[in-house]
Structure 1
Amino acid sequence: MAPHPSTSHASSTHTTLNLSGMVMAKLKPAKIFKNAVDAPPAPATGSQSQKTSNPPSRSITGITFDDRGDQLLTAGEDETFKLYSCKSGKVLKTFYSKKYGVDLPRFTHKNTAIVHASTKEDDTVRYHSLHDNKYLAYFRGHTDKVISLEVSPIDDGFMSGSMDKTVRLWDLRTPVCRGLLKLPAPPVVAYDSTGMVFAVAVNHYQRILLYDQANYDKAPFLTIELNDPTLLTISYPPRPIYVTSMSFSNDSKFLLVGCSGDTHYVVDSFDGIILARLEGHTALERVSMTSPPLIQPAKGISGEEVSWTPDSKYVISGSLDGRIFIWDIQSLNGVLGDERRKPFKMLRLKANAVLDGHPGPSRCVKFNPRFAMMCTAGTELAFWLPDPAVDAEEVAKDLLKKRAS
């Protein structure tokens, strides 16, 4: 196998935020925004839809923090995106995108600008200024819905993956596509923490391709096969793994693979081994409680519900029932090294903590990159903070350790 291009580089997203299992288990909703998404318009008086049922509720579809963790931006099915202060817990601005729609919002390295995908009109990626509410550039080229969008951690580059079976590489400074990958199926993309490597998941083929950013036009230096023997014990033939999101740990050792089913995966990004399957949550794409469950990834509501904490010690995920699941990933460091040269049996990890408090399906879940704060979103938006009592317990434990030594 070719060496991982990022092995000699330090992580560019290193953070000093240090979380503990006690802090994670004691997170509580500090503020809930019940009107984070506008209700759909009422059906016309006397219409058939009014007679049969209430109109479906709208949901937040994507959230993003700026690099400093000061601001949070949400995008919703009401075709608006809202800017929140993480310190004051207040709405700063509301923006409307009724003409183009808005999805997959991503802060650039300026906290006054974002890129986002469109849901109407066309499949252009748009570069938007939050300062004066203007579009700065349009990135045209995709011919179908953009399903994956990621900003480089080190520069003004970004990537988009589309249902048109292509990945396009862009630079914010020019609207012309600077790189194109044609694939056999719709792709999902992710940068590693150095920006030197990017991953492309090719659905229907259950493969993840790792590319050197400087040689993206060459063959991938690593191909990962997503083979989970556990699925054979659930149904035959086994239900295919449908990837909806990916993200690297901050040291680039691990790749978190979010899926439409009741399992997410953690993969060794150097050798391509599936280290663990994360279990316990109920998939957002589940449409029945049968066994085996019926999963319908075409619904397209997965992708934002699973992510790392900033220190990459924990993985957090939403669930169809609204609960938040937390898995401790620190034990996986022990299976690297010598274990690379031995046959490895994939671990099945249950959540170390399960949190209640989010109303409705927790469709988006992310941790603030700088502060001990978590955000969950669906039909409502919630800011989570540690229970104040946890600090006192941590101090007491530290005192006891010092006295014992």
Structure 2
Amino acid sequence: MASKAVQPTFPFNLQMANRLKPARVFKTALEPVPPPPPSAQSGRSQPNTRRHITGISFDDHGDTLVTAGEDETFRLYSCKTGKHLKTLYSKKYGVDLPKFTHKNSTIIYASTKEDDTIRYHSLHDNKYLRVVSLEVSPIDDGFMSGSEDHTVRLWDLRTTTARGELNLPATPIVAYDSNGVVFAVGINLYQRINLYDTKNFDKEPFLHIILDDVSLAKISYPPRFPVMTSLSFSSNGKMLLVGTAGDAHYVLDAFEGTLLYKLAGFVGLERGKSSGPNSLGMVPSRGISGEEVCWTPDSKFVVGGSQDGRVYLWDLSEPAKLPKPAPRGVDPVVLAPSVTLDGHPGPSRCVKFNPRFIMLATAGAELAFWQPDITEKGKGPETS
């Protein structure tokens, strides 16, 4: 049985956020792209085709981080020593969206080829325990998957068949609240987020939320709707963070469904899309992390990555000092970042805060561990 949302070991505040710096950067966090065969050599310079980390996950105790990369590897890192522990391979099935279960020796992850299943994997002996299908429940061994076949399936690690299924009109995005009592399903096709009771998932959702940013109608016509890439509840369950591929994320009231704040001031990863050989493919699809924004464990700050590599923090720690949310049908209140951090090399496509310690991990072509600099001048990050 997992514990509920936990607080960091020591308090995190705006002053500490300003002192976050990369303490360790892993430049060799992925295997390099192999050179083209001699017959393909043309004498021209080859395009930059660096591989990227597509997903990261901390274990419940915050001791270990696992990454999944486009090189079809898992990599384990110690958060206490800042060292790479081991590399495991999934060349046959591919690997994406790794999630620790409530044991630090097992993860679930999405395959990217072969049979497109979601697998339960032992990190200890590198064996596939059984095929199951990716959001882990915070209270037990249940988890959810949302797939391209327009279904949400609810699973239990003890069985190989789903215990429930929702059929939807489009590909869904899923998230549990911190108590595992409620789960959210986002459907981009309708700009809708539905909230369900976990115990009565086969009933109609008890709340329908429309993600309606009317300010977008002033930019283009017809308005370009935000493309949702992730959902996450605050630790108290009162707010719902909606991550997007564009230049804004959103904070909603999870009880009433109203739009509280629009988080802006960064370069969205969607801008990484191109049709050339150097395409980063950041527009949401399978293989895209959906991890470019997250809460701090106490839900007082939102942390987000960007196409330009900077990391941004929005301060929601004092609700009484925040602007009053705008009524429906009016441009949402825009919050600018309170803190901007430099130091991540390349797009920061995955951003996760350690659940127990004041430690931030960011990932793209490289992996960086961030901690507050408590020295006067500080020193450059260690690299490997």
**TM-score of the two chains, using structure 2 as the length reference:** 0.90
Contact 1:82 1:91 in 2 (8 A): yes
Per-residue Cα deviation, 1:226-281 (whole angstroms, up to 9, x for no partner): 00011112111110121101111100011000001110000000000010010011
CA distance, structure 2, for counterparts of residue 361 and residue 384 of structure 1: 16
Larger relative helix fraction = 1
Alignment correspondent of 2:291: 304
- Decide which of 1, 4, 14 is 1:12's aligned counterpart: 4
Contact 1:42 1:55 in 2 (8 A): no
Does structure 1 residue 99 correspond to structure 2 residue 84? no
Alignment correspondent of 1:73: 66
CA distance, structure 2, for counterparts of residue 171 and residue 260 of structure 1: 30
Contact 2:6 2:355 in 1 (8 A): no
Alignment correspondent of 1:360: 346
Contact 1:285 1:299 in 2 (8 A): no
- Decide which of 25, 29, 34 is 2:22's aligned counterpart: 29
Contact 2:228 2:243 in 1 (8 A): yes
Alignment correspondent of 1:116: 109
Does structure 1 residue 330 correspond to structure 2 residue 323? no
Alignment correspondent of 2:206: 221
- Shift of residue 335, structure 1, vs aligned partner: 7.3
CA distance, structure 2, for counterparts of residue 349 and residue 303 of structure 1: 21
Alignment correspondent of 2:251: 266
CA distance, structure 2, for counterparts of residue 161 and residue 373 of structure 1: 29
Alignment correspondent of 1:8: none
CA distance, structure 2, for counterparts of residue 248 and residue 317 of structure 1: 15
**2:340 aligned partner, one-letter code:** V
- Shift of residue 328, structure 1, vs aligned partner: 0.5
Contact 1:285 1:302 in 2 (8 A): no
Does structure 1 residue 130 correspond to structure 2 residue 136? no
- Shift of residue 52, structure 1, vs aligned partner: 5.6
Alignment correspondent of 2:381: none
Alignment correspondent of 2:222: 237
- Decide which of 364, 369, 377 is 1:383's aligned counterpart: 369
Alignment correspondent of 1:275: 260
CA distance, structure 2, for counterparts of residue 350 and residue 340 of structure 1: 16
- Of the structure 1 ranges 206-215 and 343-352, higher mean CA displacement relative to structure 2 is found in 343-352
Alignment correspondent of 1:188: 173
CA distance, structure 1, for counterparts of residue 330 and residue 317 of structure 2: 17
Contact 1:32 1:383 in 2 (8 A): yes
Contact 1:72 1:85 in 2 (8 A): yes
- Decide which of 134, 137, 154 is 1:169's aligned counterpart: 154
Unaligned runs of 5+ in 2: 275-281, 377-384
- Of the structure 1 ranges 306-315 and 341-350, higher mean CA displacement relative to structure 2 is found in 341-350
SS in structure 2 opposite 1:275? strand
CA distance, structure 2, for counterparts of residue 342 and residue 78 of structure 1: 45
Structure 1 residues 362, 49: closer, same or farther in 2, change over 3 A?
Answer: farther
Contact 1:318 1:364 in 2 (8 A): yes
Alignment correspondent of 2:271: 286
- Shift of residue 111, structure 1, vs aligned partner: 0.5
Alignment correspondent of 2:357: 371
Does structure 1 residue 346 correspond to structure 2 residue 332? yes
SS in structure 1 opposite 2:174? strand
CA distance, structure 2, for counterparts of residue 86 and residue 260 of structure 1: 28
Contact 2:213 2:331 in 1 (8 A): no
- Shift of residue 339, structure 1, vs aligned partner: 7.9
CA distance, structure 1, for counterparts of residue 146 and residue 285 of structure 2: 16
- Shift of residue 92, structure 1, vs aligned partner: 1.1
**1:120 aligned partner, one-letter code:** K
Does structure 1 residue 321 correspond to structure 2 residue 314? no
Structure 1 residues 138, 89: closer, same or farther in 2, change over 3 A?
Answer: same
Alignment correspondent of 2:138: 153
CA distance, structure 2, for counterparts of residue 205 and residue 139 of structure 1: 29
- Shift of residue 340, structure 1, vs aligned partner: 11
Per-residue Cα deviation, 1:195-234 (whole angstroms, up to 9, x for no partner): 0100000111000000000000000000000000111121
Contact 2:172 2:188 in 1 (8 A): yes
Contact 1:259 1:302 in 2 (8 A): no
Corresponding residue pairs, total: 366
Alignment correspondent of 1:397: none
CA distance, structure 1, for counterparts of residue 149 and residue 173 of structure 2: 12
SS in structure 2 opposite 1:174? coil
CA distance, structure 1, for counterparts of residue 320 and residue 59 of structure 2: 29
Give % identity. Answer: 59
- Shift of residue 305, structure 1, vs aligned partner: 1.1
Structure 1 residues 139, 49: closer, same or farther in 2, change over 3 A?
Answer: farther
Contact 1:284 1:302 in 2 (8 A): no
Contact 2:249 2:263 in 1 (8 A): yes
Alignment correspondent of 2:278: none
SS in structure 2 opposite 1:51? coil
